[in-house]
Structure 1
Amino acid sequence: MSRIRWHAIAGVAAAAAVVLGLVVVAPASGAATVTATFEKTQSWDTGWEGRYTIRNSGSAELSGWRLTFTLGSGSVTSAWDAQLSSSGTEYTFANLSWNGTIPAGGSASFGFNASGTGTPTGCALNGVSCDGGSVPPTTTTTPTTSNPPDEPGEPGEPGQKLVGYFANWGVYDRHYYVKNIATSRSAAKLTHINYAFGNVQGGRCAVGDSYADYEKTYSAADSVDGVGDTWDQPLAGNFNQLRKLKKMYPGLKVIWSFGGWTWSGGFGEAARNPEAFADSCYKLVEDPRWADVFDGIDIDWEYPNACGLTCDTSGPKAFGNLVKALRSRFGSNLVTAAITADASSGGKIDATDYAAAAQYVDWYMVMTYDFFGAWDTTGPTAPHSPLRAYDGIPNPSFNTDSAITKLKGKGVPPGKLLLGIGFYGRGWTGVTQLAPGGRATGPARGTYEQGIEDYKVLKNTCRATNTIAGTAYGLCGSDWWSYDTPDTIRGKRTYAGSQSLGGMFFWELSGDTSDGELISAMSGS
């Protein structure tokens, strides 16, 4: 996340996929010629991850697919990019609304997690044995949405976090107010709001924008409760609006976030005297004027002992010392942190001891977005928030699953990890190729910044037509955009549940539609 540019470079490669079997379906008149390739992409002590890729090498379009197999040992626990159902030891994976048609020469894939050590047997595609035969279009009815079955530990269930960032500058050109959180029906679905951003200056926490934070007065039409501000009231601005919102939704918590892309440069000085920094933050967050508004503090340091807008050399223990001091000063109040998803060898996760620091935070928000973007002006085009690596990805170490896997491997409890979603797209212009990997001439035009655009705009101006690695993309004229949709978010929600993560978070509220499409998908509603 950032005030100017949300550029959280991230990622790490998953284990190399090993092709375990290739099943070929013979051609027939009027039917597509299809192969289904199975890969066991990862394995661990208690289970494994698999993937099927369905390729249409014929001249006819395949319209709708349904793949079944039997698993004699263990069970399938979750799936993404397909609708999962089961009967005993037989598992069925049906296409979703966006990946049901496979053109001649095209492909579709889906993935799943399974317990035990078994391997799929008895594969069938549209009712025809995968060992041979023709594959006609499926006659089954496919859901129009991909809402997967709930699983224990998924976001939106009791005890799971759904955290959204509110950017204080959104009240200006964007005209996004705290009231919109309520009118979009999102407030009832959120567990926490992170208020961004406070500044870090002189080794201390500081107010970021006093006018937006606590001075701007609101008319009755723009106020959460329909009551306008008066000129002489003791607290106005977003802080007063958040106070009103919490009164309407008593279970909602608000956390003040400090730093971000633009203001992370002050953390290095703060780390030289963590106790003084923590004390300054506590006194600011608990200022009597707004002490009832905030339930804790969030640190968005981009990046400890590494480079973001500026470079930090404070060492691998500095971040841990900082959050330890915050925990000591804030006591039982919330202490959270947004952290890098750069899990490449020697990358930003390796630069900081996040595992040792985890004992002092309530949770980490892993910024699993902005892996790729038009800061690489000529491309190649790539989705900015891939769930996993895919063939042709510009850097196979940049993907969500690799970051989560690395953090868990280092000893960070999965329940303290929240998966990140961007409510925006990244785009290039001068592109002629729909598939990822195309060349470009620069960033696509955005409303507020080149190369970036809100989901609520893109869903109308450049509708995603394809998916890869759990995220969506589309080509509109010469502009190529990638972004998450309600369908791809549901897939990531399933992934978060399968990994026993503590929940999900997103950047940021104003990017969603007026009726909260993306937040609804994240909450499972």
Structure 2
Amino acid sequence: MKRRSIGLLVAGAAVLVAGTTAVPAEAHGSSQRVVGYYTQWSGYDRNFLVNDLVKNGSAARLTHINYAFGFVDEQGNCYSSDPWADYQRGFTAEQSVNGTADAPDQALKGNLNQLKQLKAKYPKLRISISLGGWTGSKYFSNAALPAARAAHVKSCTDLWIKGNIPGLPAGAAKGIFDGIDLDWEWPSSEGNPGNVIRPEDKVNFTGLVHEYRKQLDKASWPFKGRYNLTAFLPADPAQVDRGFEVKKIFKDLTFGTLQGYDYHGSWDPQTNQQSSIDGPKGDPTAAEFSSQVTVDAYLARHAPRGKLVLGVPFYARGWTGVTNANNGLFQNATGPAPATYEAGYEDYRILKTKLSSFTVHRDNLAGFAWLFDGTTFWTWDDPTEMKRKAQYISNRNLGGAMIWSLDGDTANGELISALHRNLR
């Protein structure tokens, strides 16, 4: 499975030093986490800014935001993959979270300053920098080598946790990030073509996670656990076994987010579901991909149930040239469906505006929905399916839901609203 676009419970607060307070890593009152990815590129073609998280109600419903992505270079050092978006772009008063325009000579601007304002508005919100992603995982294998990992972690904590941004005053971005999210796609498995892969990635990932936990705890001494450490983890049990020592890494992770989407997509010759809860009847593929399979795989490998956060998609996967049979499901297709930003991938908010051209179909047993117009097929999640997923997460006593990505929702936040109110 491919993601194409492509966290410690602490009780109470404690005094760090005079005048400052340690914020618990998971201070939100909800028993289940609502984690959302906000991407650097959301502010480009989509024009979805950090302040839109306030406008559509997402910020009030989120417990955690993962800001995606920071990259790792060949030597294992962390760097900003888009300095302009991260800390150089100036925002007008209308665009900003707090209603104040960035000054031309202001040291820290961009998304980082907007996230800083968001934290001031929502003090319980925890924000992590997500490292890697589909296009940013090329050199993770180098960074995880025993001889390199301590320097790698220091590089990343210096940049993102201590906030030492090149060209800005020391500590200019300090206090924005409450943790680090490791999004290595994937240890010992092919991800984006050209990624460095080694057989020893599996054991090295365990070592890397432990090194992050050690250095993050040192950075927050004497209040162990102040900083979150999370990881994005694959859905495919075969990839899990190739790349992850599950029981060991969860000893150091605050929680892990599970890939709950991209089970199928336009890289497959036939239409299928991308995020069903269970395997649908009649699925012609050899191996079942479903949330049930994924969750059960991690539980069987001794992951703590309360640390499993299931991913949900705010986008759809689509095919065109689809054979007009079985309402388009499990049918041959000629290629990816035309879409706004990427063929075969459409934001929910955009696809919703085209509903009049499609018929909505649901498999209530397997738990998924799709759209079909006789030639184009989209597997999608609407509020009905978000409710279903939230109930599944709650009924299985999992640790919460993760959203990829926040810019796919509507202006009134109908997906996150349905998700949030059905979690317990």
- On whether the aligned pair clears a TM of 0.5, the verdict is yes
In the alignment, the residues of structure 2 paired with residue 425 and residue 357 of structure 1 have an alpha-carbon distance, to the nearest angstrom, of: 31
- Which residue of 225, 244, 252 maps to 2:117? 244
**SS of equivalent residue, structure 1 residue 187:** helix
Scaled by the length of structure 2, the TM-score of the pair is 0.85
Checking the alignment, whether the CA contact within 8 Å between 2:186 and 2:243 is kept in structure 1 is no
In the alignment, the residues of structure 1 paired with residue 280 and residue 42 of structure 2 have an alpha-carbon distance, to the nearest angstrom, of: 35
After the TM superposition, which residues 267-278 of structure 1 pair with which residues of structure 2 at under 5 Å, given as runs?
Answer: 267-272=140-145, 273-278=148-153
Partner of 1:381: 271
Partner of 1:354: 246
In the alignment, the residues of structure 2 paired with residue 348 and residue 230 of structure 1 have an alpha-carbon distance, to the nearest angstrom, of: 47
Partner of 1:184: 56
Checking the alignment, whether the CA contact within 8 Å between 2:272 and 2:379 is kept in structure 1 is yes
- Encode CA deviations 1:379-405: one digit per residue, 9 max, x unaligned: 321011111112222244211111100
In the alignment, the residues of structure 1 paired with residue 241 and residue 338 of structure 2 have an alpha-carbon distance, to the nearest angstrom, of: 32
TM-fit CA distance, 1:477: 4.4
Pairing 1:290–2:176 present: no
Partner of 1:280: 155
- Which residue of 196, 215, 228 maps to 2:101? 228
- Which residue of 179, 182, 190 maps to 1:299? 182
Pairing 1:335–2:335 present: no
**SS of equivalent residue, structure 2 residue 188:** coil
Checking the alignment, whether the CA contact within 8 Å between 1:6 and 1:370 is kept in structure 2 is no
After the TM superposition, which residues 469-488 of structure 1 pair with which residues of structure 2 at under 5 Å, given as runs?
Answer: 469-488=366-385
After the TM superposition, which residues 298-447 of structure 1 pair with which residues of structure 2 at under 5 Å, given as runs?
Answer: 298-309=181-192, 310=195, 312-313=197-198, 314-331=200-217, 332=225, 333-343=227-237, 346-376=238-268, 379-393=269-283, 394-431=285-322, 432-433=324-325, 434-447=327-340
Partner of 1:512: 409
Checking the alignment, whether the CA contact within 8 Å between 1:198 and 1:257 is kept in structure 2 is yes
In the alignment, the residues of structure 2 paired with residue 326 and residue 174 of structure 1 have an alpha-carbon distance, to the nearest angstrom, of: 33
The structure richer in strand per residue is: 1
**SS of equivalent residue, structure 1 residue 198:** strand
- Encode CA deviations 1:19-60: one digit per residue, 9 max, x unaligned: xxxxxxxxxxxxxxxxxxxxxxxxxxxxxxxxxxxxxxxxxx
In the alignment, the residues of structure 2 paired with residue 204 and residue 473 of structure 1 have an alpha-carbon distance, to the nearest angstrom, of: 42
In the alignment, the residues of structure 1 paired with residue 159 and residue 243 of structure 2 have an alpha-carbon distance, to the nearest angstrom, of: 30
Identity of matched residues, %: 37
Scaled by the length of structure 1, the TM-score of the pair is 0.69
Partner of 1:66: none
- Encode CA deviations 1:152-209: one digit per residue, 9 max, x unaligned: xxxx972321000001111111111001000001111000110000001121221121
Checking the alignment, whether the CA contact within 8 Å between 2:139 and 2:196 is kept in structure 1 is no
Partner of 1:159: 31
**SS of equivalent residue, structure 1 residue 317:** helix
AA aligned to 2:315 is Y
TM-fit CA distance, 1:316: 2.1
In the alignment, the residues of structure 2 paired with residue 387 and residue 303 of structure 1 have an alpha-carbon distance, to the nearest angstrom, of: 23
After the TM superposition, which residues 203-222 of structure 1 pair with which residues of structure 2 at under 5 Å, given as runs?
Answer: 203-222=76-95
Checking the alignment, whether the CA contact within 8 Å between 1:340 and 1:349 is kept in structure 2 is no
AA aligned to 2:111 is N
**Shift in alpha-carbon separation, 1:349–1:486, aligned structure 2, 3 A:** farther
Checking the alignment, whether the CA contact within 8 Å between 1:305 and 1:315 is kept in structure 2 is yes
TM-fit CA distance, 1:428: 0.3
Checking the alignment, whether the CA contact within 8 Å between 1:390 and 1:396 is kept in structure 2 is no
Checking the alignment, whether the CA contact within 8 Å between 1:464 and 1:482 is kept in structure 2 is no
Checking the alignment, whether the CA contact within 8 Å between 2:49 and 2:95 is kept in structure 1 is yes
The structure richer in helix per residue is: 2
AA aligned to 1:479 is T
Checking the alignment, whether the CA contact within 8 Å between 1:489 and 1:522 is kept in structure 2 is yes
TM-fit CA distance, 1:226: 1.5
- Which residue of 341, 347, 350 maps to 1:454? 347
TM-fit CA distance, 1:334: 0.6
Checking the alignment, whether the CA contact within 8 Å between 1:341 and 1:368 is kept in structure 2 is yes
CA RMSD of aligned residues (A): 1.7
Unaligned runs of 5+ in 1: 8-155
**SS of equivalent residue, structure 2 residue 353:** helix
Checking the alignment, whether the CA contact within 8 Å between 2:67 and 2:128 is kept in structure 1 is yes
**Shift in alpha-carbon separation, 1:235–1:315, aligned structure 2, 3 A:** closer
TM-fit CA distance, 1:423: 0.6
Checking the alignment, whether the CA contact within 8 Å between 2:129 and 2:180 is kept in structure 1 is yes
Checking the alignment, whether the CA contact within 8 Å between 2:66 and 2:181 is kept in structure 1 is yes
Partner of 2:21: none
AA aligned to 1:161 is R
TM-fit CA distance, 1:370: 0.3
AA aligned to 2:207 is N
- Encode CA deviations 1:463-519: one digit per residue, 9 max, x unaligned: 561112211101124110011111111111111112211101010111000111111
AA aligned to 1:5 is R
Checking the alignment, whether the CA contact within 8 Å between 2:144 and 2:201 is kept in structure 1 is no
After the TM superposition, which residues 120-131 of structure 1 pair with which residues of structure 2 at under 5 Å, given as runs?
Answer: none
AA aligned to 1:163 is V
Partner of 1:465: 360
- Encode CA deviations 1:306-365: one digit per residue, 9 max, x unaligned: 11113521332111111100000111211100010101xx44444321221110110000
In the alignment, the residues of structure 1 paired with residue 295 and residue 232 of structure 2 have an alpha-carbon distance, to the nearest angstrom, of: 13
User: How many residues are aligned here?
Assistant: 372
In the alignment, the residues of structure 1 paired with residue 132 and residue 257 of structure 2 have an alpha-carbon distance, to the nearest angstrom, of: 14
Checking the alignment, whether the CA contact within 8 Å between 2:279 and 2:288 is kept in structure 1 is yes
